[in-house]
Amino acid sequence: MSERSNFIHDFIDEDLETGKHKFGEIQTRFPPESNGYLHIGHAKALFIDFSTAVKYGGKCNLRFDDTNPAKEDTEFVDAIKYDINWLGYNWEKLCFGSEYFDMCYDFAEKLIMKGKAYVCDLDKDQIREYRGTFSEPGIESPYRNRSVEENLDLFRRMRAGEFADGTRTLRAKIDMASPNLNMRDPAIYRILHINHHQTGDKWCIYPMYDFAHPIQDAIEGITHSLCTLEYEAHRPLYDWVVEQCEFEKKPRQIEFAPLNITNTVLSKRFLRQLVESGTVDGWDDPRMPTLCGMRRRGYTPEAIKNFLTRAGIAKTDSLIDFALLEYCVREELNDKALRRIAVLDPIKVVIDNYPEDKVEYFEVSNHPAKPELGTRKVAFTKELYIDREDFALVPPPKFFRMKPDGEVRLMGSYIVKCVNPVVDEDGNIVEIHCTADLETGCGMPADGRKVKGTIHWVSASNCEDITVKLYDKLFTIKNTGDLPEGMTYSDVMNPESVITLTNCKAEKGIGDTEDGHFQFVRTGYFVRDSKNPEVYNRTVTLKDSFKPE
C-alpha cells in the first residue's frame, strides 16, 4: 500500500524547504521502555518512525529508554527487538538511554554553573504542594536561590551517595508562574540507590525522562522526535533543555494521536496485570493486542502495516474499529492462505453404497484463485465427517445443505442423498446414512436435476484430530477509554473471548504443511499454534459486513 502523506511529513517538508535539514539527513528514533512487550499501539509509533525515515532517505535508531532503573528487565529488551524485526523494520543504531548517563550528568553540572538548575531539599509531597495548580501559580522553593558553589557541592555529594532516596532533587530553574505545570522548576535528577540492569551500581542518581530524552535525541542527531500526544505539554521543557544545553542541532518534537482500538486496551501496565493475574495465558495469548499475541493469533506483519496505513496518522484522538484490523488480516489471508478442510463439530456420514475398503483420491485446489499454489489429493472413503451445522433434521425454508431425502454435493466429489439419519433417544444425531450418485462423479447429473448445496467433509479414516480455539474480543465495551462509573476493566471482560473445540477433524497431512496459515474452507482463517502443534487458532472469521471507507 502506498505511503500517504500526513501532518508530520508536512512539518518535515517545511524543514527541508527552509533549509533546516537536507533530504537524506532525517533521523528518527523509537524509544521503548523495556518494561513489557510491544503492543499494536507501539507498532503505530514504529510505523511512523521507520516509514518517515525511509521516505526522507534517513535512518531510525532503536533506543531503549532505561532511565527508570526500577522497572526494567532484559527479557523485554530481547522480545522488543524480535518484534520490531518481525514487523520488517531494521534500526540504524541500537542504543540505551543509560549510555548517556555520563553526558547527562555533565549537562546537569553545566546547567548548575549557568544558574539554571538547583538542588532542592523539598520532599515529593512538598514539591507537589509548592507546584500550584492550573489556576494558581506555584511558590518558589526556599532552596531556589542557593549559590552555584553550594549547588555544585550538593549535586556532587548526591552523586557520591551521601543522601538517602527522596531527600533531594536537582531541579531546573525555569518559572514557577508558568501556565504550563511542567515548566514550574521540574525535577531533572533524583536520588535512587538502586541497581541498574545496564550500569550496575555505578549511579545512585538518575536523570528524569524529560531531561534525558531531549539530550539523547540531540546527541544522536535525531532531527524529528516523534511521540504521542501526551508529550505535547512537555514540548516546551524539551525545547528548554535543548536550548540550555546549547546543542547546535536542535531536534524537533512532533506529537501524533496514539492508536486506540475498539474493545481493546493498549496499555502495557494493564496488559501486564492481565498476564500476572492469570486472566490470559501470557503476553502472547492470542487474544492480547501485543505483537507476540497477534503473531500467535495468525496476524501477519503486512496486515498490521496495512491496517496502520488505513487507520491514518492524525493530530487528534480517535477510536479505530477493530473490524478494520480484521478486514486487513482477512484481505491478506484471502490472498495468501492455503485452503484446507477441517470439520469443527463432526457428525459421521456413512455412504451405504460405497465399498468398505475403497479409497479414492480427488484432486483439490490449494487456492481457487491461484493455480500456481497447486493442488493436493484428498481421500474419499465410505465413512466421512461433515459439520453438524450442515445437517438439519427439520430443515428451515431454503436450507440447501444436508436434510432427510435431500441431495447435496460433497465438495469436490460425489452428490449424496441422505437416506437415514440415525437419532438417539435424546434426539441427538448419531450418524447419517447416505447413498452416493457414483455415476455422476464430480460432474453434473446427466438427467439435468439441480443440486443446490455444497458442503465440506473429511474422510473418517484419513483425517487428523485437531483442537480449535475460537477467539473473540477481550472486552465487551467498545470504548474502553470510557469505562462506566465504578467499573474496572475486569468487569467488562468478555467471558467468551476464547472457546475451545476438541475433537475437530482436519484432512490428513495438515500438520505437515510448513506454512501454518490456512483457510479452513467455509469456516474461517486459522493458524497452527506455535506452542501446541495440534491446536489451530482462529485468526479471523471468513466474512464480515465491515467495509473500510
CA gap 184, 137 in Å, rounded: 9
Burial 109-126 (b: 16+ CB within 10 A, else e): bebbeeebbbbbebeeee
| CA 142 centroid distance within chain | 48
Give the cell for residue 332.
Answer: 491478506
Q: Taking the complex as a whole, how short is the minimal distance between the CB of residue 134 and ligand ATP, in angstroms?
A: 23
Considering only 19, 269, 426, 543, the residue that binds ligand ATP (CB under 6 A) is 269
Does 234 sit near ligand ATP (CB under 6 A)? no
Q: Of the candidates 178, 262, 267, 440, which one interacts with ligand ATP according to CB under 6 A?
A: 267
Closest CA to 79 of 332, 268, 297, 222: 268
For ligand ATP, which stretch binds (CB under 6 A), given 263-271, 305-313, 473-481, 487-495? 263-271
Shorter beta-carbon distance to ligand ATP: residue 82 or 399: 82
Query: Least CB distance from residue 266 to ligand ATP, whole Å?
Result: 4
C-alpha cell at 289: 493486542
Contact between 332 and 323 under an 8 Å Cβ cutoff? The reply is no
Tell me the window of 18-26, 146-154, 267-275, 470-478 that interacts with ligand ATP (CB under 6 A): 267-275
CA-nearest of 33, 37, 61, 38 to 49 is 61
The CA distances from residue 515 to 333, 477, 530, 541, in Å, are 12, 35, 11, 19
Q: Are 351 and 384 in contact (CB under 8 A)?
A: yes
Per-residue binder mask for ligand ATP (CB under 6 A), 11-50, x = binder: --------------------xxx-------xx-xx-----
Shortest Å, Cβ 42 to ligand ATP? 5
Asked whether position 79 contacts ligand ATP by CB under 6 A, the answer is no
Q: Which is nearer to ligand ATP, 62 or 172 (CB)?
A: 62
- By CB under 6 A, the count of residues binding ligand ATP is 15
Please list every residue from 214 through 233 that binds ligand ATP, using CB under 6 A.
227-228
Q: What three-state secondary structure class fits 468? A: strand
Quote the least distance from Cβ 228 to ligand ATP, whole Å.
4
Residues 492-521 that bind ligand ATP (CB under 6 A): none
Q: Which is nearer to ligand ATP, 84 or 172 (CB)?
A: 84
- State which residue, 230 or 549, has the beta carbon closest to ligand ATP: 230
Instruction: In whole angstroms, give the CA distance from residue 79 to residue 145.
Output: 47
By beta carbon distance, the residue nearest ligand ATP is 41
Residue from 218, 266, 386, 434 binding ligand ATP (CB under 6 A): 266
Nearer to ligand ATP, 45 or 323 (CB): 45
Residue that has been written with the C-alpha cell 532533587 in this structure: 169
Return the closest-CA partner of residue 39 out of 294, 240, 244, 211. Answer: 294
Q: Which of 77, 111, 170, 259 binds ligand ATP (CB under 6 A)?
A: 259
Tell me if 333 sits within 8 A of 525, measured CB to CB: yes
Q: Between 92 and 464, name the residue whose CB sits nearer to ligand ATP.
A: 92
Helices 301-311 and 40-55, packing angle to 10 deg? 80
Q: Does 258 bind ligand ATP (CB under 6 A)?
A: yes
DSSP-derived secondary structure letter, 181: G
- Up-side HSE of residue 294: CA atoms within 13 Å toward CB? 24
The contact set with ligand ATP (CB under 6 A) reads 31-33, 41-42, 44-45, 227-228, 258-259, 266-269
